[in-house]
Chains A and B, each alone.
Chain A
Amino acid sequence: MIAAEIRNEILDILSDIVPDEDLSQLDDSLPFREQIELDSMDFLDIVMELRKRHRIQIPEDDYVELNTMAGTVRYLEPLMKDIRPS
């Protein structure tokens, strides 16, 4: 997956986790939590979905990298480069 595809995948996961939110105006540079109602259990849902869908294991120390959309895509790029978009 390339960056744009990873971003779409994260948006797809978020649309399940926070189905009441409008994600179309998401600013990639701002923290998720400043833009949408996303608590710690929701954040763990993102981690779990990446694990379930793509077998990606994210260590707890790296959670801080997933603060923004831009940071999440940047962090996942090397981990998802060999995954083909479904």
Chain B
Amino acid sequence: MIAGNGDHRRIVITGVGLTAPNGNSLAEFRESLLAGRSGVKNYEIRYVGATHAGVCAFDELRHQKKKEVRRGTRAGSVGIYCANEAVRDSGLDWENVDKSQVGIYVGVTEHGNVETENEIFSLQGFDYDTKFWSHHHNPRTVANNPAGEISLNLGITGPHYTIGAACAAGNAGLIQGAQMLLLGECDVALAGGVSESIHTFGIFASFKSQGALAKHEDPAKASRPFDRGRNGIVVAEGGCIYVLERMSDAAARGAKIYGELVGHAMNSDASDFVLPNSERQAQCVRTALRRAGLEPEDIDIVSTHATGTTSGDAQESAALREVFQGGLKTRFNNAKSFIGHAMGAAGSLELAGNLLAFEDRMCHATINVDDLDPECAVPGLVINEPEPLGEVNTILNNSFGMLGINSVVIIKRV
């Protein structure tokens, strides 16, 4: 249990940096979600051809030189942008922060596919002669790359690594950061998740072969979780990095506090490579609630994981109906309907999309629900239009992934 053991045992969010397909800051992202603005566009990628994707338009050169962008990876650039924006937002006196006490914990669904595909594509032009294979391949594809690029860019000498957790990675990064703070491994944690997945054709082609790649004549309507007409996932890129601190440290410096991480859980389905398991998902939600010392009816907003697949949305809906039992208070929404599935960034981005509800008391919607699938009819689902709530004190964020990995975090208003 994280909550209630003294302020040095309480973990709070003091900074947020993000890039999403419909916003490059927390405020922009929130505004887009409340305005119903999609970030999904038509998109072309080699071999697969025309498809849809959530594409980010942040300024890479805001925090990197051109040479650094060229040498590194897109995931690295996403991470660097988010980390710098988070540090700036936190109000930390960065010049005087002991960089050896800062840890970097970045969730990724996958890493290295983009760079490997690019090299093989290039090598094809040289008749597959490996003396034309880039010396940059290894530093670009090592699994710690996005976190390592953040460390290089910000001069952070504390621990850095990525957390490979499929599409639960955004939450997993956040949880890892909190745990490292509790263990005293660092005093400031930069934690969250990133995704460069729209630049690998393999992820699109694999979803397509699986019958799980979304298609719609209007790209803004392609990502449609819970709708009867849903036909798969829209792949997105993006990132969200949080500055996490112990409450005692945050309070001592008078930091702005977005919320407290009061509960978390991770578990495994142990049942299938790709199909979700509602029983294990429900168990994961219950564990997080128990650790937070909360009951289902205490939760104001549940940010669902639903990706727009036939099976996945129905399974999560079943898990949520079972845990929340149609309670009158709790509202449910979904950010993927706006931006697609940002893979390793999804968990942290989707939480961020709800964080400002503590201030504006609005629950953003899940859009593109023209014909609600009865199997996805969760009482309290906020459909198509945002809903004003009297008060928002708690947000529960679901994030699940392939190989049966489930994660839940609960954030409480401070």
Contact = CB atoms under 8 A, between A and B. Distances in A.
Interface stretch (A5-13, A22-30, A44-52, A64-72): A44-52
A20 interface: yes
B65 A20 contact: yes
A41 B140 CA distance: 12
A48 B135 contact: yes
Contacts of B65: 20
Nearest to B131: A51
Contacts of A20: 65-67
Contacts of B134: 48
Contact of A19 (B67, B126, B131, B132): B67
Contacts of A79: none
A18 B67 CA distance: 6
A19 B70 contact: yes
Nearest to A16: B70
Contact of B71 (A41, A48, A51): A41
Task: Give the interface size class of chain A.
Answer: 10 to 19
A16 B67 CA distance: 8
B256 interface: no
A52 B67 contact: no
A41 B136 CA distance: 8
A34 interface: no
Contact of B126 (A17, A42, A45, A52): A52
Interface of A: 16-20, 37, 41-42, 44-45, 48, 51-52, 57
24 contacts: A16-B70, A17-B67, A17-B70, A19-B66, A19-B67, A19-B70, A20-B65, A20-B66, A20-B67, A37-B67, A41-B71, A41-B135, A41-B136, A42-B67, A44-B135, A45-B135, A48-B132, A48-B134, A48-B135, A51-B131, A51-B132, A52-B126, A52-B132, A57-B131
Given A17-B67, A19-B67, 16 more contacts: A16-B70, A17-B70, A18-B67, A19-B66, A19-B70, A20-B65, A37-B67, A41-B71, A41-B135, A45-B135, A48-B132, A48-B134, A48-B135, A51-B131, A51-B132, A57-B131
